[in-house]
Copies of this chain bind each other. A is one copy, B any other.
Amino acid sequence: MTPHPNPGRDPHRGRDPHQGPHGRPPDEERLARAALSHIVEPGDPHAGRALRRYGANGFLRLLRENAVPAQPGLWAPGTPGPYEDVHDDSHGERTPPALTEARLAGWRRRARTATPEQHLDHIARLGGRFVIPGDTEWPRQLDDLGDARPIGLWVRGPADLRAWALRSVALVGARACTPYGAHTAAALAAGLSEHGWVVVSGAAFGIDGAAHRGALGTGGATIAVLACGVDVPYPRGHAGLIRRITEQGLVLGELPPGGHPTRSRFVLRNRVIAALTRGTVVVEAEHRSGSLVTARAAARLGRHTMGVPGPVTSGLSAGVHELLRGEATLVSDAADIVELVGDIGQLAPPRRGPVLPRDLLAPDTARVLEALPARHPTPLADIATRAGTDPDHTLAKLYELHSLGFVERHDDHWRLTNTPTQPSNARHGGT
Give A contacts to B, CB under 8 Å. Answer: 180, 183-184, 308-313, 317-318, 321, 324-325, 329-330, 332-333, 336
Which residues of chain B come closer than 8 Å to A324, judged between CB atoms? 309, 324, 330
Write 5 A-B pairs (CB below 8 A) sorted by A numbering: A184-B311, A309-B310, A309-B324, A311-B311, A324-B324
How many Å lie between the Cα of A329 and that of B183 in the bound state?
A: 26
Which residues of chain B come closer than 8 Å to A332, judged between CB atoms? 312, 318, 321
The 9 closest A-B pairs by CB, nearest first: A309-B309, A312-B332, A324-B330, A325-B330, A321-B332, A321-B330, A180-B311, A308-B312, A310-B311
What's the nearest-Cβ distance from chain B to residue A431, in Å?
46
Q: Which among A312, A318, A329 has the highest number of chain B CB atoms within 10 Å?
A: A312
When all copies of this chain in the complex are counted, the total is 2
Which residues of chain B come closer than 8 Å to A336, judged between CB atoms? 325
> Are B325 and A329 in contact (CB-based, < 8 A)?
yes
Given known pairs A321-B332, A324-B330, the reply for A312 and B309 (CB within 8 Å) is: yes
How many Å lie between the Cα of A318 and that of B309 in the bound state?
A: 11
How many Å lie between the Cα of A311 and that of B329 in the bound state?
A: 16
> Are A309 and B325 in contact (CB-based, < 8 A)?
no
> Are A183 and B313 in contact (CB-based, < 8 A)?
yes
> Are B313 and A180 in contact (CB-based, < 8 A)?
yes
**Per a CB cutoff under 8 Å, which of B310, B311, B312 touches A333?**
B312
How many Å lie between the Cα of A309 and that of B317 in the bound state?
A: 10
What's the nearest-Cβ distance from chain B to residue A284, in Å?
11
Which residues of chain B come closer than 8 Å to A333, judged between CB atoms? 312
Which residues of chain B come closer than 8 Å to A312, judged between CB atoms? 184, 308-310, 332-333
How many Å lie between the Cα of A333 and that of B318 in the bound state?
A: 11
Please, which residue of chain B has its CB at the minimum distance from the CB of A329?
A: B325
Which residues of chain B come closer than 8 Å to A330, judged between CB atoms? 309, 321, 324-325, 330
Known interface pairs A180-B313, A324-B324; 16 further A-B residue pairs with C-beta atoms within 8 A, sorted by A's residue number? A180-B311, A183-B313, A184-B311, A184-B312, A309-B309, A309-B311, A309-B312, A309-B330, A310-B311, A310-B312, A318-B332, A321-B330, A324-B330, A325-B329, A325-B330, A325-B336
